[in-house]
Amino acid sequence: MTHHLYRTFLRTLAVISIAVALPLAAAGAASADVPEGWSDPETVDFMHTLLVLIGIPLLVILILALAVYVPPIVRGESVAPAGARADDEWFGGRGDAEKALEASKSGPGDETGGASGSW
């Protein structure tokens, strides 16, 4: 039964593929003359296109980056991301982590509790 369904699926897929591919293969490029009264522009040079589509956006990005980073650098500030200079932090840890750390360094006679505490 599944073999029959598989073959039917493949046949249907082939028919749909041909139905879509034939009109696309038969279609040609549109060819039309420039309408009367319109100018007939010259072809655009590849380097000019490259300059307009890539050069100008890169220049804008460079100017924006300089506008953002130069003033803090001139003032002597760091431009590193905030996470790069953050201190260590224990997320979800004890609220009194520093106190607990100091207590673990204390001697056995201190009243700190924990596994080594006395009852």
Domain encompassing residue 56: 44-76
In a domain, 72, yes or no: yes
What is the SS3 string spanning 76-118?
CCCCCCHHHCCCCCCCCCCCCHHHHHHHHHCCCCCCCCCCCCC
Distance, in Å, from the CA atom of 72 to the CA atom of 78, rounded to the nearest integer, reads 7
pLDDT of residue 75: 93
User: Which pTM was predicted?
Assistant: 0.39
- Dig out the tokens for 114 from the structure: 């924990």
In a domain, 20, yes or no: no
pLDDT of residue 118: 62
In a domain, 91, yes or no: no
Contacts of 42 by beta carbon, 8 Å cutoff, 6+ apart: none
In a domain, 27, yes or no: no
Segments of the chain scoring below 50 in pLDDT: none
Structural domain total, the chain: 1
In a domain, 63, yes or no: yes
In a domain, 111, yes or no: no
In a domain, 10, yes or no: no
pLDDT of residue 110: 54
